[in-house]
Amino acid sequence: MPNERLRDALLRQGLNLDHVARAAKVDPKTVERWITKNRIPYPKHRHTIAAMVRESENYLWPDALPTERKAEVAVSEVIKVYPHRHAVPRELWSRLIDNAHEDIEILVYAGMFLTEYPKLIHQFREKAQGGTRIRLLFGDPVSREVTRRSEDEGIGKTTLAAKVRNALAFFRPLRDEPNIEIRCHGTTLYNSIYRFDDEMVVNTHLYGFQAAHAPALHLRRLSAGDLFENYSESLESVWKSAKEPKWAKE
């Protein structure tokens, strides 16, 4: 079975067999076998290719590492655990936003705390104009999932939907900006995810608690890890099924 992840990653970076062969110091036919026959390269070659295509080794070759080794790497991906999301320092959020140059991805129901950053719209617009891809995912305010989550948090049926509408109103000025996409989803979220290039904050969801009072994990992507990658793939799955907000069709 071909390694479609590797093939796709190379295509996205405009790389061919010869590029990879020169970097890894192997024959192009060897690279072809890595792709078409899903052969797993030696670790030194995996490191080289992963760096070239800016993907983790575990994403490109999920079966390359034994389970025990994956668990060890996952521990190293966790920079810090915060007991509550509101305990994440404001300085950390600012640094993550400032240092992101390729991807900013946010998956939430409302994420209203983001509206407390008055310069955020300007920052996102400036980053998008500089080439940063920004994807913002909010809950669909009329979905049953948002209603259910609102009830689970103990704030009533309609409160969270109102927060989502307020968040969409806040980010509405960005709707026509190149490199910025905003969508709404109707999925059950077990975590809110905030990705900034190779760093991420994962805010877990707890029954009976608002997101601000639930724990948050600060992660950094490692080439051989799969913790960061799993959350990233989860976000991607929600993105694929999400739709444009109704105001985007006006």
Could you give the C-alpha distances from 92 to 73, 76, 88, 119, 195, in angstroms and in order?
23, 19, 7, 15, 13
Grouping H, G, I as helix, E, B as strand and the rest as coil, residue 76 is helix
Domain range enclosing 126: 73-249
54 and 135 housed in the same domain:
no
Count the domains in the chain.
2
Could you give the C-alpha distances from 133 to 14, 79, 102, 142, 241, in angstroms and in order?
18, 24, 6, 27, 19
102 and 119 housed in the same domain:
yes
Residue 109 near residue 143 (C-beta atoms within 8 A): no
26 and 97 housed in the same domain:
no
Count Cα neighbours of 239 within 13 Å in the Cβ-side half-sphere.
15
Give the angle 128-118-161 at the CA atoms, nearest 5°.
90
57 and 84 housed in the same domain:
no
91 and 196 housed in the same domain:
yes
Q: Where are the alpha helices (DSSP H) in 130-206?
A: 144-152, 159-171
CATH of the domain at 161: 3.30.870.10
CATH of the domain at 27: 1.10.260.40
57 and 161 housed in the same domain:
no
pLDDT at 248: 45
pTM of the model: 0.76
pLDDT in tens, 120-145: 999 999 999 999 999 999 999 999 99
Residue stretches of the chain with pLDDT short of 70? 65-74, 224, 247-250
pLDDT at 146: 96
Query: Which residue, of 37, 64, 91, is where some domain finishes?
Result: 64
127 and 55 housed in the same domain:
no
103 and 169 housed in the same domain:
yes
